[in-house]
Amino acid sequence: MKKCFVFLLSLFSLSLAFSQATTKSTTANQGIARPKLVVGIVIDQMRWDYLYRYYDVFKNSGGFKRFLNDGFSCDNTFIPYTPTVTAAGHTCVYTGSVPAIHGIMGNEWYDNIHHATVYCADDSTVQVVGSGNTAAGAMSPRNLLTTTITDELRIASNFQSKVIGVALKDRGSILPAGHAANAAYWYDTKSGNFISSSYYMNVLPEWVQQFNGKKIVDSLYQLNWTPGLPKEMYDQYCTADDKPYEGKPFGTSNSAMPYDLTKYAGQDYSKIFVTPHGNTLTAEMAKAAVVNERLGKGSATDFLTISFSSPDAIGHTFGPNSWEQLDDYAKLDETLGKLFDFLDASVGKGQWTVFLTADHAVAHVPGFMKENKLPGGTINEGGLMKYMNQTLKDKFGKDNIITGIFNYQVYLNHNLIDASDLNEKDITRWIINYVGNLDAVSNVFALDELGTITMNATMKERFANGYLPSRSGDIQIVLKPGYIDGGTAGTTHGLWYPYDSHIPLLWYGWGIRKGKTDTETYMTDISATLAALLHIQRPSGCIGQVIEDVFK
């Protein structure tokens, strides 16, 4: 508790110092007015309906009501592609583009040219900086094929603008910050530190080393995870706590709130991910970046990208109707409110612009759906692939005809098929016939025939926007609404359906007017709108449209 008190005291001292700081006037290059700082916030896994479902839970001093009451909300914003997953979502927000163009097909995919599985941020040419965990730091944005809005800001300012990315997940920091970022920092679960890679630097800045030295994660563990709302509010908004279809990240003996986290201090730094404290840790790192990098203090507009990763971990584990996710969003609301107060004090009221969106939403837990007589269920991609490979071996005499199933796409082993003189059409036909008869599947088709098959136009567009031949699979599996790839506990996302693709899009601050629109907008429109607001070029693959009502 002593460490916790020291940590909280230091935060109070910092806030007092910032409240006394003076602010600079709006940045103006060649007579063009711009904000001093742009802050891009991506909530990793946020359904749009949380904004209004939890409206009475959010505080007037929090972040969400500041957006909804004093900013601008695009209430019908959708993701215009599949798969709706983290890496593709963060990339789309900052490129204004889709996987078919920017190349980030998912969190991972199979590369058909190099014949290897690729993680979205993999880069074997760089080394970890700030940790002995080698694998955690061999990361960069090199798999991204286009520029980002943050890259375009750097170019437009002749690289005078600073761009910093912060997130617990590497992909949530690296991809938004772009190719030309000054730095991207992400969390290492082995050391409990924020780290980077040699793509950006050779050694962590002194301020990051000092931040890591405080071991804030241990102070947060000492607070445990206790409910922040009255019990009747959880009863009003959630199913009962400790459902059998919820995950048990803290063990079966501690399967309901409150959760004892003190035992993880100095022992297990990964558990912070699946608690609201992960949001607090992220926000404190972001604040430290603003102060120590003097963001918003120069002659050019700076850009801070923040991704809050914990809602995704909590949502996957417990689901959207859980006590845990309600508690997470109530506390995230407070965290955002404090962040905005900090920016008012450090950068200046009216001197910064912020937007908030999500990389994807999420499906309800299949167990919850069944419990309430709603359609839904599961499919096991790993088991499916094993069965199909064994059956194909029996039919065609070769092992591993399928190299993988990623993002609901089946990848064929073309080298093997060609070398063995197998009939690829026969193999494809068998897979389509077999998978198409599964209870969880509504459709299955060869991706190279997408242009000719009969399908709803919206669906066809979503699949086309997610198709890049060199990085995509051969056969697309389309699950029925409410079905996921998973087991008996927890949930996931990835499909085109509104529960996965309808996301919040909120704007506030410099240049933003009060209001809302119900006109359908898209994730790809965010970078186009930022480019118009900042009077800079759009990213190189941007296909979005400017949402003029945001600042008209």
As a whole number of angstroms, the distance between CA 205 and CA 159 comes to: 19
Burial of 64 (C-beta count, 10 Å sphere; 0-12/13-18/19+): buried
Total length of the chain: 552
Strand 352-358 to strand 505-509: parallel, antiparallel, or no bridges (unpaired)?
Answer: antiparallel
* Number of Cβ within a 10 Å radius of residue 380: 13
Nearest-CA neighbor of 298 among 29, 536, 101?
29
As beta bridge partners, residue 416 has none
Distance spanning both ends of the chain, measured CA to CA = 50
**37-43, strands of its sheet edge to edge:** 128-129, 193-197, 183-188, 163-167, 302-308, 37-43, 352-358, 505-509, 72-74, 515-517
| Single-letter code of the amino acid located at 304 | L
One of 77, 82, 84, 86 is an active-site residue; which one?
86
3-state secondary structure of 345: helix
Phi, psi of 274 (to 5 degrees): -100, 35
Q: What is the DSSP letter of 248?
A: -
Structure tokens at 173: 């920091």
Structure tokens at 251: 């063990």
Which residues neighbour 392 within 8 Å (Cβ) at sequence distance 6 or greater? 398, 401, 402, 427, 430, 431
As a whole number of angstroms, the distance between CA 263 and CA 250 comes to: 10
Q: Which residues of 409-420 are buried (b: 16+ CB within 10 A; e: fewer)?
A: bbbbbeebbeee
| Single-letter code of the amino acid located at 77 | T
Query: E-strand spans in 383-432?
Result: 402-406, 409-412
Q: Where are the alpha helices (DSSP H) in 20-157?
A: 50-53, 63-70, 86-95, 99-102, 134-137, 149-156
* Number of Cβ within a 10 Å radius of residue 23: 17
Is 275 an annotated catalytic residue?
Answer: no
Torsional sign, CA 120, 122, 125, 127: positive
Which residues neighbour 196 within 8 Å (Cβ) at sequence distance 6 or greater? 129, 130, 137, 183, 184, 185, 186, 204, 208
Residues labelled as active-site residues:
86
